[in-house]
């Protein structure tokens, strides 16, 4: 049987650690296989070598620390010593943990030296520290961004909300944006519905014009992000202007220029687009998802402020915008009626039936019999003949969600609406330019061809009859108002009458006596408003 010392020596040979034993003088007495294999080119066991002298010769920071620790343990000043140190080769990086521990063999004081490779752990620690540093850097960057964004949002919101005019909103907003890094230029463009142009109205930046050209043409300059933003109603981003094919048409993008990325945002409130906000930055990729979210929120704030000013102006002025349009689309209901009855059609007015369906009154320029309007409309329009003679015919059409109701939602008052030979001519008054732009855009999206013939803005005096009409409509029930409107539009008050009370009652699906009761009540309330 092997002796205890032989057994220990054999076990030491198999350990996957580099181990050696030295005496009080530092002489190496014993090494194991891992020690010898550490230098495969020599395969030396270093027995008899002065280890302390070897460490002293290394003369670097790690060697000096190791020497101090080993000597302290050898001399009995320390019970043990441990340190981590690098031992890199040209081919790879390595780290080791050295442990120095004393023990006795008879009356001799010996010291064991163990070198354990910890490369995997150190690499993991370094990776963890690098990740932690990246997180800290990202946090510092995020804190900087949040601080910048908070100031930007506050400044732009204050500028938009406190301004007294739309021009002031545009001017102050552009100035605040251009002062914020990395933005170098901001401009706001407005559209002209008559010539289909998008033109910068206000801008701010480092002595830079917003466009190389003076304006953009809707329908032509479609690659420009401002035009696309206005047309599509969605933000448009170009992260690298140098890689954008059409950049040189609108911006100086040479190597010495400072315009590198751009975002264009529609200024939209509800279904009204007031214009486009364009911001350019002096670095590529400036408009990431976080930046876009902030600027989209600011665009909404700006549009809301513009809407508030428009509403206030509507309440304090009597501006009326009149637009004249030509519409060519076979689906337009007045065109369909004109084609179906083979007559020129003109609009007379609008009311609603009992279930809220809009009813439009039209006049045809010839006499039409009941069979001529029985069912000419495959898309479901319900047409009723109210009255007629050789001078013309009054028709009632259930129009649903169509052009008349759409114009009403924009505050429009139809002054003239005629259709003949596939073409409709429309004249409508709207409360302001915003409503006119909105109504025009809505019609252009809905119908095949819409041409703006005339745009006219006037200041009209307040008319007392509008107040009377408002009070009258609020005092009448829906049925009373419908009875009065039907009677008026169907020429019931003409003499001789074109239509009887019984026919009008039938059109409302009520009895003749009930119709006359509604009509008399409505007439009395009308007279009350006029004479009391």
**Range(s) for CATH 3.30.450.20 in the chain?**
4-117
Beta bridge partners of residue 455, listed in sequence order: 323
- Other C-beta atoms within 10 Å of 446: how many? 15
CATH superfamily of the domain spanning 4-117: PAS domain (3.30.450.20)
Burial class (CB in 10 A: 0-12, 13-18, 19+), 425: middle
Q: What is the DSSP string of 418-483?
A: EEETTEEEEEEEESSHHHHHHHHHHHHHHSSEEEEEEEEEEE----HHHHHHHHHHHHS-HHHHHH
Query: CATH fold of 141-316, please?
Result: Beta-Lactamase (3.30.450)
pLDDT score of 101 more than 90? yes
**Percent residues over pLDDT 70 in the chain:** 84
Burial class (CB in 10 A: 0-12, 13-18, 19+), 22: buried
**Range(s) for CATH 3.30.450.40 in the chain?**
141-316
**If you average pLDDT over every residue of the chain, what do you get?**
81
- Other C-beta atoms within 10 Å of 484: how many? 22
Architecture of the CATH domain 462-532: Orthogonal Bundle (1.10)
Greater confidence (474 vs 132) lies with: 132
Beta bridge partners of residue 456, listed in sequence order: 322
Give the tokens for residue 233. 């109603």
Long-range contact pairs involving 412-418 (C-beta distance under 8 Å, separation at least 24)? 412/439, 414/347, 415/322, 416/346, 416/347, 417/334, 417/346, 417/347, 418/334, 418/344, 418/345, 418/346, 418/347
pLDDT score of 211 more than 60? yes
pLDDT digits (tens, 9 = 90+) for 140-175: 666 655 566 666 777 777 877 777 888 888 888 888
pLDDT digits (tens, 9 = 90+) for 285-340: 888 888 888 888 888 888 888 888 776 766 565 668 888 999 999 888 888 888 88
pLDDT of residue 81: 94
pLDDT score of 112 more than 80? yes
| Rounded-to-integer distance, Cα 458 and Cα 419, Å | 27
| Rounded-to-integer distance, Cα 212 and Cα 459, Å | 37
Lowest mean pLDDT segment, chosen from 28-32, 269-273, 372-376, 446-450 = 372-376
CB of 298 within 8 A of CB of 268?
A: no
Q: Are strands 358-364 and 236-238 parallel, antiparallel or unpaired?
A: unpaired
Among residues 233, 237, 214, the alpha carbon closest in space to that of 224 is found at 237
pLDDT digits (tens, 9 = 90+) for 168-179: 888 888 888 888
pLDDT of residue 461: 46
Greater confidence (348 vs 196) lies with: 348
For the chain, the first-to-last Cα distance in angstroms comes to 133
| Rounded-to-integer distance, Cα 67 and Cα 52, Å | 7
- Predicted confidence band of residue 377 (pLDDT cuts 50, 70, 90): low
């Amino acid at each position: 049987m092997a002796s205890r010392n032989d057994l220990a020596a054999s076990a030491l040979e198999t350990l996957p650690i580099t181990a050696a034993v030295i005496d009080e003088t530092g002489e190496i007495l014993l090494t194991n296989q891992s020690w010898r294999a550490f230098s495969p080119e020599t395969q030396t066991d270093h027995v008899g070598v002065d280890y302390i002298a070897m460490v002293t010769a290394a003369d670097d920071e790690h060697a000096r620390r190791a020497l101090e620790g080993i000597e302290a343990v050898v001399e009995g000043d320390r019970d043990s010593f441990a340190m981590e140190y690098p031992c890199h080769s040209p081919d790879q990086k390595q780290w080791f943990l050295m442990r120095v521990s004393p023990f006795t063999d008879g009356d001799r004081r010996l010291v064991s030296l163990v070198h354990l490779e910890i490369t995997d752990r150190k690499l993991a620690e370094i990776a963890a520290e690098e990740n932690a540093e990246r997180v800290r850097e990202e946090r510092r960057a995020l804190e900087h961004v949040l601080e910048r964004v908070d100031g930007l949002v506050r400044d732009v919101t204050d500028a938009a909300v406190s301004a007294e005019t739309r021009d002031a909103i545009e001017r102050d907003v552009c100035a605040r944006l251009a002062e914020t890094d990395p933005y170098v230029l901001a401009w706001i463009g407005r559209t002209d519905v008559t010539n289909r142009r998008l033109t910068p109205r206000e801008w701010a930046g480092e002595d830079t014009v917003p466009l190389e050209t003076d304006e953009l043409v809707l329908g032509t300059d479609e690659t420009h992000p401002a035009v696309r933003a206005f047309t599509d109603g969605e933000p448009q981003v170009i992260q690298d202007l140098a890689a954008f094919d059409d950049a040189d048409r609108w911006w100086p993008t040479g190597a010495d220029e400072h315009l590198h990325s751009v975002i264009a945002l529609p200024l939209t409130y509800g279904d009204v687009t007031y214009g486009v906000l364009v911001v350019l930055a002096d670095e590529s990729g400036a408009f990431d998802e976080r930046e876009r979210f902030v600027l989209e929120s600011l665009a909404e704030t700006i549009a809301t402020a513009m809407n508030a000013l428009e509403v206030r102006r509507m309440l304090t002025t009597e501006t009326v915008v009149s637009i004249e349009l030509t519409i060519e689309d076979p689906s337009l209901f007045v065109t369909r009626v004109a084609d179906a009855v083979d007559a020129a059609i003109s609009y007379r007015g609008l009311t609603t039936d009992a279930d809220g369906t809009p009813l439009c009154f039209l006049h045809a320029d010839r006499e039409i019999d009941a069979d001529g309007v029985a069912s000419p409309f495959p898309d479901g329009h319900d047409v009723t003949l109210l009255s007629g003679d050789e001078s013309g015919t009054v028709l009632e059409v259930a129009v649903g969600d169509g052009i008349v109701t759409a114009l009403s939602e924009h505050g429009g008052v139809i002054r003239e609406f005629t259709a003949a030979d596939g073409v409709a001519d429309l004249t409508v008054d709207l409360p302001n330019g915003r409503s006119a732009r909105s109504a025009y855009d809505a019609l252009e999206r809905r119908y095949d061809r819409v041409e703006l013939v005339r745009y006219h803005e006037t200041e009209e005096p307040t008319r007392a009859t509008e107040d009377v009409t408002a009070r009258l409509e609020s005092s009448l029930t829906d049925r009373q108002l419908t009875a009065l409107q039907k009677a008026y539009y169907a020429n019931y008050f003409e003499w001789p009458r074109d239509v009887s009370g019984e026919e009008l009652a039938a059109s409302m699906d009520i009895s003749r006596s009930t119709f006359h009761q509604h009509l008399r009540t409505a007439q009395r309330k009308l007279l009350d408003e006029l004479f009391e």
